Structures are given as structure tokens and as C-alpha cells.
Structure 1
Amino acid sequence: MPFPCVKELPISRLVLWNIDLTLVDVAQVTRAAYAEAFEKVTGVPLVYLAPTAGRTDSELFFDFLARNDVDDTDETLLPRFTKELGEAFARHSDQLAVRGRMMPGALDALNAVMRLPDTVQTVVTGTIRSNAKAKLAAFGLDSCLDLSIGGYGSENYPKASLIQFTRMRAEEAYGRAFPESQTVYITESVRDVEAARIGRVQPIAVVSGSSTESQLRAAGAEHILDDLTDPAALVAAIRAATSED
């Protein structure tokens, strides 16, 4: 008995964006929200911070606990922290555009990607969903992205897993194939470049954070931009990274 024909899905390109220091810089507001949520949940002031680049909010929380000598055996701490973090961030949301900034060229970059045929763009970020949306909305960037399929820190998975989950959500939502070879992750952090490699997609690095070009290249980034101010260079990098040649 012959096997029935299986119709292959059309193939599209998926562009994943990191948010912090790639599209926006709202570190001051984020730190204030971390401090409020941490003290509310633990009763201990957040004195000792931790490096944030390429890390999820859940990873940071457990690092905060260790650095500030707080017992981490209470399993209710993380969900309570996540809830309080969202509420604390909402209280400070009016300060995002005042104390933060959109990274140079970010809006033009997103618009350039929107014009690429057969391309969907969303985010993979360590930030919890509500705060990620607020960060982007404060600078009018949210309408350029399909945030319904994004990967967020509230899912409590490492970035490499979030990349794969986001790709699968895109396929389900659009009824199209988004192969690993047609997926890129745009970020400024070494840890994210490494996560892209582990997640089997191509990283495109932007030298807009604390990582140097040499560090990003050593982590596995073949395509590196100084910033996002040249949309043509970004589009060329995306096309090169997803080339079948």
C-alpha cells in the first residue's frame, strides 16, 4: 500500500531579537524593579547584583539569592518573585522612555526586516513576558514584532531552549516551516551567541553591549555589526546567515 503524499510546508525565514542592549537600554528601571521585587519576596535588600547579559530573570533571581545569602530552598520564591517583578516594573513603566533609550537604529532595523519577503520577526529574551512587552512598547517597537510567538524569561528555560520553542511556535502559528538554517538570533551578548549555537541557529552579533567584537567572534558569531544604524548591512547579514549556498 503506497504511502500518502505529504505536502511540504513553504519555507520562511525567522529573525529572533534579543531586547536589552540590542533594541533598548532600560537598565536603570530594570534594576529598580529587581530591587523592589527581591526585597518584597525575601525581606532582604538587594545589595549585591549579578551580571545580566544573556541571562533570564529566573537565572538572575537565583544568583541574587546566592550573592545576598538568602536560602533558596523555598520553591515558592521564584513564582512570587516573577509576579512581584511584573508589578514593580509596571509601577516604573512611565520612566522607561525618560530614564532609558532606544538603541541607535533599532526602529529602522526592525522596519527593514519587516520588508524582507517571507520573513517573520519576534523576540527571544531573558525578560519576563509582561516586562518585555513594556520595554518595547515604551519606544514604539512592539508593533514591528510578532510578540505572540516570542520566547521569554517567564518560561524558565535556558535561551537555547527558548530559541527552539519559539521556532516551533512560529511554525504552528504560521503553518510554515522555519528551519534552523533559516533562523537567526540578533544579540549583543556572548552568552546569547553561545545559546544560538547550542540552539543550532545562526547568531548575528551587534557590538552594542559590554562584549567586544573579538569576544563575540570567539563565541561563534560570524556576522558582526558595529550597531544597527545601517539597515542595509543588517539585511545583508541576515541574507548571508540564511543563505542555502
Structure 2
Amino acid sequence: MELFVLWDIDHTLIENAGVSKEIYAAAFSALSGREPTEAARTEGRTDRLIMRDMFVREGLPVPAWHFIETALTQAGEARLEELRRRGTALPGVHEALKAASAQSGWISSVLTGNIAANARVKLSAFGLESLLDLTVGAYGADAELRPHLVAVARERAQRLRSVSADVTTVLVGDTPLDVEAALTTGSGILAVASGIHTPEELTAAGAADVLPDLSDTKRVLSMVESFAGH
């Protein structure tokens, strides 16, 4: 059975305990020379949109993307130990990822608003990176809108792992934007209410399957597998 499973990171796999917003603030300060007056607005958006929004709200010109990505990378690397100290992998995540990685025919990677460098920082802080095929993931530098990341990940999986063009893709995430990305790309969606959004909000966004977290490995795998052939 061929399945392409794409996991969100923040509040799905890990709790970053506010370190993410500190990364955005540090990157903004490095580029602008002053602290932002408001915290970054995240909620499943890509780094491209998050950082652009910060500069627009502050009434400043938006720097070229390569400058922003460099600043984000440096801010993320500088906060690895702080993330490890304050954050945590969420319940059942190690077990779910390990089980998914062992399934024959499954490719398990990430679809995240984080740039690739910071996705690796966040996963490595809790020993998760080896359980995912990060080469075929899609990241916040790849597109502005989350639904567009799905095509990026599929193309990489076809080119680098020889999966079929019509591979069943399943997204696992905690925000309405994860649900939207799945529904608009013909992907399955397993929503988890482990972030700020309630089961009711995720259901209203269109998710038929909502779990409180990923702690029940058998149920997680069964629900992901149920999308095969849809």
C-alpha cells in the first residue's frame, strides 16, 4: 500500500513553548534594527507570510526573501538548546512516527510553514528527525500558501522516491489551514486538537477525523490507512 503521510510540526509533533515567536522576533530585529511591537501571527501560515506580515504591520519595507531566510536560520540555530529546554515532543509522537516509518509502502515526511533549517532544528531538539524522510518534505520557503506546499512535496516524492503521481497523500495537522490544504488538494486529513484549535473548529473547517493528540498509535495508523484508495 502506497501512502504519502505529511506531518505538521508545531503543535502537532512538538510544543515549542513560545520559542517560535522568539525566532521570528529575533529575525525581524536582525533585519530592521529594532524589536517588533507585536508578536508574529502564526496559526499554520508559512514563514514567507509570517515575516512579510510583520514588516507590513510595522510599516517597514519587506526585505528580499534570501535575507529573511538567512535571519530565520540564524535565529533558529541560536535557540536549539532553549527549545530543547522549554519545549517537548507531544504525547505519542515518537511512537506514531516510528510506527509510520516502519509501514511498507509508506513515505512519512513533513508539510510545515517553517523553513527547512528550522524544521530540522525543531525536530532534532527532540530526536524526531531520523523518523522522517525530510528530503521529500515541503517547507515555508517553498510557497506562500500552505495548499501549494502539497504539490511541492508530491513532486519531490515522485522525483526522489519514485512514488506514483496519484499517490494517496494524508496530512496530519492541528489548524484549519492544515484542513484547507488537504481538502483543496484532494488529500486526506487527520486533524489533531493538540494546538489552540478545538475539535469543533477543526470539524467546522471540514475535518471528518479529529483526535485529541497522537497518543493512540494504533488508532492514528488505522485512521491514516483508512484514506488509502480514496
TM-score (norm 2): 0.94
Tell me, in whole angstroms, the C-alpha distance in 1 between the residues paired with 2:36 and 2:17. Answer: 15
Answering whether residue 48 of structure 2 is matched by residue 58 of structure 1, we say yes
Give percent identity, aligned residues only. 33
Tell me, in whole angstroms, the C-alpha distance in 1 between the residues paired with 2:52 and 2:104. Answer: 42
The one-letter amino acid paired with 2:101 is M
Tell me, in whole angstroms, the C-alpha distance in 2 between the residues paired with 1:99 and 1:236. Answer: 32
Note if contact 2:109-2:137 (Cα within 8 Å) is conserved in structure 1. yes
Partner of 1:234: 220
TM-score (norm 1): 0.89
Tell me, in whole angstroms, the C-alpha distance in 1 between the residues paired with 2:208 and 2:155. Answer: 25
Partner of 1:206: 192
Answering whether residue 114 of structure 2 is matched by residue 100 of structure 1, we say no
Answering whether residue 153 of structure 2 is matched by residue 166 of structure 1, we say yes
Tell me, in whole angstroms, the C-alpha distance in 1 between the residues paired with 2:132 and 2:115. Answer: 16
Of residues 89, 96, 99, the one that matches 1:112 is 99
Tell me how large the CA RMSD over aligned residues is. 1.5
> 1:51: Cα distance to partner?
2.6
The one-letter amino acid paired with 1:172 is R
Question: What do residues 36-72 of structure 1 show as CA deviations (whole Å, max 9, x unaligned)?
Answer: 1101112231121243111011100111112222233
Answering whether residue 32 of structure 2 is matched by residue 42 of structure 1, we say yes
Q: 4+ residue runs of structure 1 moved beyond 3 angstroms?
A: none
Answering whether residue 95 of structure 2 is matched by residue 124 of structure 1, we say no
Partner of 1:145: 132
Note if contact 2:179-2:206 (Cα within 8 Å) is conserved in structure 1. yes
Q: Which has the larger radius of gyration?
A: 1
Tell me, in whole angstroms, the C-alpha distance in 2 between the residues paired with 1:47 and 1:27. Answer: 20
Q: Secondary structure at the match of 1:241?
A: coil
Of residues 9, 16, 23, the one that matches 1:19 is 9
Tell me, in whole angstroms, the C-alpha distance in 1 between the residues paired with 2:21 and 2:172. Answer: 23
Instruction: Say which is worse superposed, 83-92 or 152-161, in terms of deviation.
Output: 152-161
Answering whether residue 58 of structure 2 is matched by residue 68 of structure 1, we say yes
The one-letter amino acid paired with 1:41 is L
Q: Secondary structure at the match of 1:204?
A: strand
Partner of 1:196: 182
Tell me, in whole angstroms, the C-alpha distance in 2 between the residues paired with 1:159 and 1:18. Answer: 11
Question: Do the aligned partners of residues 224 and 178 (structure 1) sit closer, same or farther apart at CA in structure 2, a change above 3 Å counting?
Answer: farther
Answering whether residue 208 of structure 2 is matched by residue 218 of structure 1, we say no
Question: What do residues 64-90 of structure 1 show as CA deviations (whole Å, max 9, x unaligned)?
Answer: 112222233xx52x3212101101111
Question: Do the aligned partners of residues 204 and 212 (structure 1) sit closer, same or farther apart at CA in structure 2, a change above 3 Å counting?
Answer: same
